Structure 1
């Protein structure tokens, strides 16, 4: 008598015909559910980020003052400072006017006049006569004054909005 070996079933087939499709369906269902959860979390995170970012931008926009249609000029008292020595002693006497487009800045400059003058005074007294006698030197000095004055007066405060510095008089002796 010949003995028959049982025919081995392939890996895809099992003794129970319903089991493999259930396992593959279960894996597919888990993958689809994970994808849906990840997409939902990503979409929710993006919505939250843009919603909060938009709220912050609108809150910042409400805090900013509205610009004036015409420029506003703030004249400062004249400065007289000793310049850094080069060929003997020199001093600078100048009158400066600040230009801004915000009415609120005028009140702020009046309130913080000592700080504004101190910043400008320190900057002017750090210069050599040769650095500020040319037109380019004066333009660079004006830019440096704008940068110094635009720094916030209080730590964590918003910066000022001086557009330009105008020299009304400028004498080096």
Structure 2
């Protein structure tokens, strides 16, 4: 009668090992699924490669303006300067050339409102270039788009 008692534990062992096998397989499937999901979510896609692709640098277009000669505030001194504007779009250059009288008027008004004392240091000249850039980039027509000048360069700058 001892034989039937021994057979019962032998049958119980395969049930535990099957249960353990299913748990292990389930864990492997969950871990594999989580790993695959993380890999797909963290993998840089084609959009990321397209964004990091650098565009070739744009070719600058330099547009020199006619010489400006203005009386500075105070009346005893004058400023003579040559200014060159930098653009990246030929259409912008054409627009500025078309409306050059209006732009020159803005710049003459701006330059003549300066004093010799406010144009002595490099920082003073940098402030003036920013003011000129703002004046050039104002829309030339009411409710129009602003111009897209990117830099102002002084090619001569004389105060007498």
- Give the SS at the match of 1:165: strand
Match of residue 70 from structure 2? 81
Cα displacement (A) at 1:109: 1.2
Query: For this pair of structures, how many residues does the alignment match?
Result: 104
How far residue 169 of structure 1 moved from its aligned partner, in angstroms, is 0.1
Q: 2:98 aligns with which of 107, 111, 126?
A: 111
> Which segments of structure 1 move beyond 2 Å, counting only runs of 4 or more?
none
Asked if 1:133 corresponds to 2:134, the answer is: no
Task: Report the secondary structure of 1:96's partner residue.
Answer: strand
Of 132, 137, 142, the residue aligned with 1:155 is 142
Q: What 5-or-longer segments of structure 1 have no aligned partner?
A: 1-67
Find out whether 1:70 has 2:89 as its counterpart: no
In structure 2, distance between residues paired with 1:110 and 1:154? 14
Q: Distance in 1 between matches of 2:107 and 2:92?
A: 17
**Paired residue for 1:28?**
none
Q: In structure 1, what is the equivalent of residue 153 of structure 2?
A: 166
Q: CA RMSD in A?
A: 1.1
TM-score, length of structure 1 as denominator length: 0.59
Q: Any stretches of 5+ residues in structure 2 without a counterpart?
A: 1-56
